[in-house]
Amino acid sequence: MSDLTAASFAPLSDQQPSQVIARPSLSYWQDAWSRLQANRRALVSLYIVIGLLLFTVFGPVVWPVDPAMQDIDQISQPPGTDRTATLVADYEPWFGTSGLPGTGLRLAEKATSQAVRLQWDAVDGASGHRVYRNLFPIGPELSYGIPMAEFLNNDTLYFEDRLDLQPGRFYYVVVALDERGLITDRYQSISVDVERVTTRTEALERGLITESNAVQIGDKITLAWHPLGTDYLGRDLLARLMAGARVSLFIGIGAPFLFVLFGVVYGSAAGFMGGRIDQLMMRFADFVVALPFLLFMILFKIAFGIGPGESGVFPMLVALVVLLWPATARLVRGQILQIREQGYISASELLGASTPYLIMRHMIPNTLGVVLVTVTFAIPSAIFTEAFLSFIGMGVAPPTPSWGSMSNEGIKTMLTTPHELFFPALFISLTVLAFNLLGDGLRDALDARMRNVE
Amino acid sequence: MSESRFNPVPSDDKFVRLAGGQLAKFALNAMAGLALVIYLLSVLAGEAGSTTSGNAIDFENNAITIALREEPPQLDANRATDASSNVVLAHVMEGLLGYDIDAQLVPGVAERYEIREDGATFWLREDALWSDGVPVTARDFVFSWKRVLDPETASQYAFILYPIKNAEAINRGEMPVATLGVRAASDRILEVDFERPTPYFDKLVAYLTYFPVREDFYNSTNGRYGADADMLLYNGAYVMTDWVHGSTMRWVKNDKYWNRENKGFLDEIRTAYITQDINAKLNLFKDGQIVDTHLLSPMLPTAMEQRWQIDRSMDGSVFYLEFNHRDDRITRNKNFRRALQLAQDPNELVYKVLKEPSYLPGVSLFPAWLSGVSESFQKEYPPVQHQINVEKAREHLELARQELGIEEFPPLMMLAGDTPIGLLSAEYYQQLFRKHLGLEFRIDVQIFKQRLEKMRQGDFDVVLSGWGPDYNDVLTYGDLFSSWNLQNRGRYSSQDMDALIRIAQSELDPQKRMDAFGEIQHLLYEDVVILPMYERGFSFVVDPRLKDFRRRSVGPEVDYNYAYIEQSSD
C-alpha cells in the first residue's frame, strides 16, 4: 500500500490473457453456407445439381457416342439385353427351297433375326394361305396372331419373315383360305426359336470388327454396348440424355438467370423511385404478364427467322426472358418498398449516405435471399417449359434431342418399351426435384433473420 | 435471452421427428388403402366387363356403334375430298355403279351400261329412289356433274371428270357449263360423250364425286347442301337421321333403297365417337364401345395377349420420297437423285424401323393390289430389283457435285407430315443420308393441309408423300407424273413420260395400255422421279359377332354396307 513506485503504474501488457466469451465472427456467406450444410436434403440436391452439370459437360467426353447414330440392329433395346450375335453372310433374296425334306409347316433354314424362312405343303382344300405370327401358342379360340402375308392361290407355299425379329420364341401359323379368300379353321403351326445374328457388312460398318479381324461366318461377336438401352431408331439413350441435358440445362439455367437479373434491376428501380414512375412501371409489368406465352414463342420463332427443321432454342430463351421477368420484378419491388421505410435507411440518409451506397449496401443485400430463391425455383419451371415446348414440337428439331422431346417420343411406346420414357422422365424429375429442394434450403440459409439462431 | 431461444430447440426437434414419423405412417397407410381400392375397382370393372359387353353391338335394336376418324367438313359429294366424308357418303349415297362385298364393280343406280370409244350410255333402274320417294333420274347426274365442273363450285376433285367432253375447258372457265358432254336422253338413259377414249370410265363413276344431286332439292337448301342431316337427300343403303356436329351421327336403314335385300342389314349405325387418337380407339374397343379399330405395331402384343383375331388389309396407298424437280433445286440433278436412291433400302425402313406387319416395302409407284391384263400388275411387269450400294451412291454424289459446280451441298429441306409414321421415316432418312452420303437434311414437319400447300408451292427439296387410289385402275397412279397433272408437286417433266401417259390414257387395247404402264414404271426408276417407301396397310380388329365388315383400298376405308350381326347360337 505504502510503497507505490512509478513502476507500479506501468500499463499492463497487451497480451494479458482474459476470459473472452465470443464465437468466431462469420460473414453472411459463411453463415449461410454453414446453415446449408446442416440441411442434408439441400446438400444432397446440391451434389445432384453438380453431378448433372458434370454429366452434361464431361459426359460426352467419357461416353463419346454420336447421339444421332442409329444402330438399326438394336432398336428399342432395354438396358442389359444380351448382346451376343452370330456373324452370318449378307442377306440374299429367297424364293423357296425346292425339294425341302419334311412335311407340313417347316423351317427352310435356321431361324435368325435376319430372316425366318418357312415352307409348307398346301393345306387340304385350301385355295390360298395366310401366314400369322404370334407371341403365344394358338389356343382353342383360334386367335392366330398378327397376319404377316396372304397368298390367294397355292402357287406360293413359302414365306420369308424379316419383320422386327427379336431373339426369342415365335409361333407361326399357316391358315387355309377358302375360295373367297376368307380364313378357315384349318391350320398348321410351328414354334420357332430365333437367334440374334448380324452380317459381316453391318459389323464392319458399325466398327464391331475390322477388316483384318480373323472373324469367320458363324463366329459369335458382341454388339455395341448401350448402357441405358436404345430408342425407337436404335440411338444410344445415354448419349441422347447427355446431348439433351445440354439443351435442357441451357434453357433451365440461362433463362432464369437472365430474367431474374432483369427483374431485379427493373423491380428495384421501380421500388426505389416510387410514386408515379413506380405505378407506370408496374402497370407495364402487369401488361407483360397478360401476354400469352405460346403465341409469343411462335412469334419469336418467326421473328428470328428460324426456318423449319432448325432448332428454336434461342427464341425459346428470348421468349422466356421477355415474358417471365415480371414475377421477379414484383417481388423485388415489394422488398425494396419495405426496406426503404426501415429506420436504418433513414439513419443512413441522415448520416449523409448517397443513393448508390444505400442501394449497394442496404437494399440489394437484403433482397438477395428472395432473389436467389426465385432463381432456384425458376430453374425447374424453365426446364419444365422447355420439356413442354419440345413435347408439343415447338422446341428442338430432330435429330437434336432434349429431355422433353425424348419423353414425347418415349410415351408412344410406353407399354412395350418403357425405358424410352423412363430415363428422360427420371432426369427431368430428378433435376426439378433437386433444384426445388436446393431452393428450399437456400431460402432457409440465406434468410438474414435466421442468422445466429444456432 | 439467447438461452431461452436455445433451449427449446432439442424438444422441437423431437416433436418434429415424432410428427414426421406419424406423417410417414399415415402416408404409408393411405397409399396401401388407395392401392387396395384401385385393385378392388379393377376387379369389379373386370367382372362388369365380362358380364355386360358395352354398346358396340346392340342385339335388341340390331345396331352397332363405330368411331369416325374426323368430323366431315360437309357432306356435299361433289366437293368432298377427305376420308371421313368418303366413309359417310359411301353408306348413305350410291353412284351409277358400286362395289360388292369382294370389291368387284357391280351395278348401282344404273342397271346396265355400255362404254364405247367416244362415249358411254347408262340405263338407270326404275326402282332407285331418293329417300323422299322420288325416283333417281338421269337429270340428277347431269345436274351433279355440271355442278362439279362449274368453276364457281371450286371442287378439288373436278379433274376426275375430265374424261367427259369439254370438262376441262369448262372447269377452267373457258367454255359455258351447258357445253358439257353429258345429257339425259330420258329419265332413265344417261348419255356421256368422251373427250378422249376412256376405257376405265365405269370405274370412275363409282367414285363419290360422280354421285347424283337433285336440282330442286339442292335449290331448296339455299347453299347449305350437305351441311346438316336434313340438308341432304339420300339414295344409299342408309340414311342419316341425326348429325350433332363434332360429336355423333346416326345412320338408319333406308327402307326405300332398291337393293335392301343384299345391302344394309343393320337397322342402325351410330357414330358415337370422332377421334384420331388410336390409343383412345383401342381402349374403346377393349371396353366394347366400338366394333372395330385398327392397330399400330406397338399395340400388337396387347392384341395378341387379349387373344383377339387380328385381320389385315391394304389401304391402297403408296408412300414415297418425292423430289423437287424445279430448276433452282439441287434435286433436279439426276446423279444426285440416283445417289439417294442407291443409299437407301425400303426393306430396312419397313422391317426394322416402322415394324408394321401390314406394310409392304415399296418397290414401285404401282402397288401390289393393282391388276394388270389378267394377273396382278406387279407380276406381269416386275419392278426393278433394287439393291443398296453405298459406294456407287457416293460416286454418283461426286458426279452430281461436279455437274452442279458446287463445293459442298447446302442443307436440304425434307418436308414431312406430322403423323408418327411420317416423323419416324423422316428421322430415319435424315440420319441414313447423313451417314452414307454426308448430306444434311432439315426436317420440316407440317400438318397435312400445310404440307399439301408447301408441296403445291414447291417449298421443299424432298417430301415424304403418298398417293391413294381414287378408282380401281392403274391410271389412278399412272398419270401422276405427267407434266400437266397439278398433283405432280415436284414438277417432274419429261417428254417420254408424257408420251407414255398419253398412250395409257387413250389406248383401247389392254395389252398395249399395260405395256405403257410397265414402261412408266421403268422410267420412274431410271429417272429417279420418286423413291418408293412402302405400301400402307392396316392391322385391325373387329368384334367377332360382326360379320362381313370390310376395310377397302378403293372407296371408303371402312365399309359396313354388307355387315351384319351374327345372332348368338348358344
pLDDT in tens, A31-61: 788 888 888 888 999 999 899 889 988 988 8
pLDDT 10s digits, A244-263: 888 888 888 888 889 888 99
Write the residue in A147, A233, A397 that is nearest to B312 by C-beta.
A147
Q: How far is B395 from chain A (nearest CA, A)?
A: 18
Q: Which residues contact B509 (CB under 8 A, 6 or more apart)?
A: none
Whole-number pLDDT of residue B49: 45
Whole-number pLDDT of residue B7: 43
The answer to whether the Cβ–Cβ distance between A136 and B305 falls below 8 Å is: yes
Whole-number pLDDT of residue B58: 87
Please give the single-letter amino acid code of residue B412.
L
Closest-CA residue to A159 (of A130, A123, A122, A197): A130
Q: Are A224 and A71 in contact (CB under 8 A)?
A: yes
Whole-number pLDDT of residue A16: 63
By the CB < 8 Å criterion, does A70 face chain B?
yes
* Biggest distance spanned by C-alpha atoms of chain B: 114
Q: Which residues contact A293 (CB under 8 A, 6 or more apart)?
A: A319, A323, A385
User: Residues of A with CB below 8 A from B426's CB?
Assistant: 398
Question: What's the CA gap between A186 and A130, in Å, rounded?
Answer: 11
The answer to whether the Cβ–Cβ distance between B424 and A413 falls below 8 Å is: no
Whole-number pLDDT of residue A393: 67
Question: What's the CA gap between B179 and B146, in Å, rounded?
Answer: 9
Report which secondary-structure segment, H or E, holds B270: strand B268-274
Whole-number pLDDT of residue B4: 41
Q: Which three cell numbers stand for residue B426?
A: 423422316
Q: How far is B500 from chain A (nearest CA, A)?
A: 31
Lowest-confidence region among A220-224, B110-114, B453-457: A220-224
Q: Are B504 and B520 in contact (CB under 8 A)?
A: yes
DSSP classification of residue B177: G
User: If you average pLDDT over residues B207-212, what whole number do you get?
Assistant: 92
The answer to whether the Cβ–Cβ distance between A397 and B355 falls below 8 Å is: no
Looking at per-residue confidence, does B304 or B17 come out higher? B304
Question: What's the CA gap between A382 and A386, in Å, rounded?
Answer: 6
Q: Which residues contact B43 (CB under 8 A, 6 or more apart)?
A: none
Write the residue in B308, B418, B442 that is nearest to A309 by C-beta.
B442
Please give the single-letter amino acid code of residue A412.
K
Q: How confident is the model at residue B45 (pLDDT cuts 50, 70, 90)?
A: low
Q: Are A32 and A446 in contact (CB under 8 A)?
A: yes
Q: Which three cell numbers stand for residue A276?
A: 408515379
Closest-CA residue to B344 (of B332, B357, B353): B353
User: If you average pLDDT over residues B127-152, what whole number do you get?
Assistant: 92
User: Residues of B with CB below 8 A from A93's CB?
Assistant: 385
The answer to whether the Cβ–Cβ distance between B304 and A150 falls below 8 Å is: no
Q: Are B331 and B461 in contact (CB under 8 A)?
A: yes
Question: What's the CA gap between A368 and A321, in Å, rounded?
Answer: 20
Whole-number pLDDT of residue A300: 81
Write the residue in B301, B413, B443 that is nearest to A398 by C-beta.
B443
Q: Which three cell numbers stand for residue B337?
A: 437423285
Question: What's the CA gap between A44 and A437, in Å, rounded?
Answer: 9
- Checking if the pLDDT of B40 tops 90, the result is no
Chain B neighbours among A 187-216 (CB < 8 Å)? none
Q: Residue B83, Cβ neighbours under 10 Å: how many?
A: 16
Closest-CA residue to A167 (of A197, A202, A146): A197
Whole-number pLDDT of residue B51: 39
Question: What's the CA gap between A80 and B239, in Å, rounded?
Answer: 58
Whole-number pLDDT of residue A366: 80
Write the residue in B309, B347, B441 that is nearest to A162 by C-beta.
B347
Q: Are B273 and B68 in contact (CB under 8 A)?
A: yes
Report which secondary-structure segment, H or E, holds B558: strand B558-559
Write the residue in B357, B431, B443 that is nearest to A70 by C-beta.
B431
Question: What's the CA gap between A197 and A195, in Å, rounded?
Answer: 6
Q: What's the length of chain A?
A: 454
Q: Are B363 and B383 in contact (CB under 8 A)?
A: yes
pLDDT in tens, chain A (454 residues): 567 888 778 877 776 666 777 777 777 778 788 888 888 888 999 999 899 889 988 988 888 888 888 888 888 888 887 888 888 888 888 888 888 888 888 888 888 888 899 998 888 888 889 999 998 888 777 788 889 888 888 888 889 998 888 888 999 999 998 888 788 888 888 999 998 888 888 888 777 777 776 777 888 888 888 888 888 888 889 999 998 888 888 888 888 889 888 998 898 888 888 889 999 999 999 999 888 888 888 888 788 777 676 777 888 888 888 888 998 899 889 888 888 888 888 899 899 888 888 887 788 778 877 887 788 778 878 888 887 887 676 777 777 888 888 888 888 778 778 899 999 989 988 888 888 888 888 877 776 665 554 4
Q: Which three cell numbers stand for residue A15?
A: 497480451
Q: How far is A380 from chain B (nearest CA, A)?
A: 26
Closest-CA residue to B239 (of B131, B90, B85): B131
Rounded to 5°, angle at Cα A56 from A53 and A57? 85
The answer to whether the Cβ–Cβ distance between B431 and A69 falls below 8 Å is: yes
Q: Report the Cα–Cα distance between both ends of chain B, in Å, rounded.
A: 89
User: If you average pLDDT over residues B169-196, what whole number do you get?
Assistant: 92
Please give the single-letter amino acid code of residue A261.
L
The per-residue pLDDT of chain B, averaged, comes to 87
Q: How far is A419 from chain B (nearest CA, A)?
A: 14
In the sheet that holds A116-119, the strands lie side by side as A106-107, A116-119, A158-161
Question: What's the CA gap between B178 and A147, in Å, rounded?
Answer: 52
Q: Which three cell numbers stand for residue A240?
A: 441422347
Q: Which residues contact B544 (CB under 8 A, 6 or more apart)?
A: B309
Number of C-alpha atoms within 13 angstroms, CB side, residue B558?
Answer: 21
Classify burial at B243, counting beta carbons within 10 Å of its beta carbon; exposed 0-12, middle 13-18, buried 19 or more. buried
Question: What's the CA gap between A212 and B490, in Å, rounded?
Answer: 46
Q: Which residues contact A24 (CB under 8 A, 6 or more apart)?
A: none
pLDDT 10s digits, B314-371: 888 899 999 999 988 999 999 999 999 999 999 989 998 888 888 999 999 999 888 8
Q: How far is A70 from chain B (nearest CA, A)?
A: 7
The answer to whether the Cβ–Cβ distance between A147 and B355 falls below 8 Å is: no
User: How many beta-carbon pairs under 8 angstroms link A with B?
Assistant: 105
pLDDT 10s digits, B115-130: 998 999 999 999 999 9
Spell out the SS3 assignment of B328-357.
CCHHHCHHHHHHHHHHCCHHHHHHHHHCCC
Question: What's the CA gap between B252 and B63, in Å, rounded?
Answer: 9
β-bridge mates for residue A149, sequence order: A131
Q: How far is B308 from chain A (nearest CA, A)?
A: 6
Write the residue in B347, B350, B427 that is nearest to A399 by C-beta.
B427
Q: Which three cell numbers stand for residue B562?
A: 354388307
- Checking if the pLDDT of B569 tops 70, the result is no
**DSSP-based three-state secondary structure for B474:** coil
In the sheet that holds B110-115, the strands lie side by side as B110-115, B119-124, B189-193, B182-186
The answer to whether the Cβ–Cβ distance between A72 and B347 falls below 8 Å is: no
- Checking if the pLDDT of B9 tops 80, the result is no
User: Residues of A with CB below 8 A from B414's CB?
Assistant: 309
Percent of chain B past pLDDT 90, that is, above it, reads 42
By the CB < 8 Å criterion, does A308 face chain B?
yes
Q: Are A139 and A121 in contact (CB under 8 A)?
A: no
Question: What's the CA gap between B41 and B34, in Å, rounded?
Answer: 10
Q: Which three cell numbers stand for residue A143?
A: 386367335
**DSSP-based three-state secondary structure for B308:** coil
The per-residue pLDDT of chain A, averaged, comes to 84
Q: Report the Cα–Cα distance between both ends of chain A, in Å, rounded.
A: 49
The answer to whether the Cβ–Cβ distance between A68 and B431 falls below 8 Å is: yes
The answer to whether the Cβ–Cβ distance between B430 and A232 falls below 8 Å is: no
Whole-number pLDDT of residue B429: 93
What angle do helix axes B334-343 and B390-404 make, rounded to 10 degrees?
160
Interface test with A, best of B431, B453, B542, B545 (most A CBs within 10 A): B431
User: If you average pLDDT over residues B167-189, what whole number do you get?
Assistant: 91
**DSSP-based three-state secondary structure for A87:** strand
Residue A329 CA, distance from chain mean position: 30
Looking at per-residue confidence, does A222 or B91 come out higher? B91
Q: Residue B238, Cβ neighbours under 10 Å: how many?
A: 26
Whole-number pLDDT of residue B220: 92
User: Residues of B with CB below 8 A from A168's CB?
Assistant: none
> Would you say the ipTM is above 0.95?
no
User: If you average pLDDT over residues B210-220, what whole number do you get?
Assistant: 93
The answer to whether the Cβ–Cβ distance between B442 and A310 falls below 8 Å is: yes
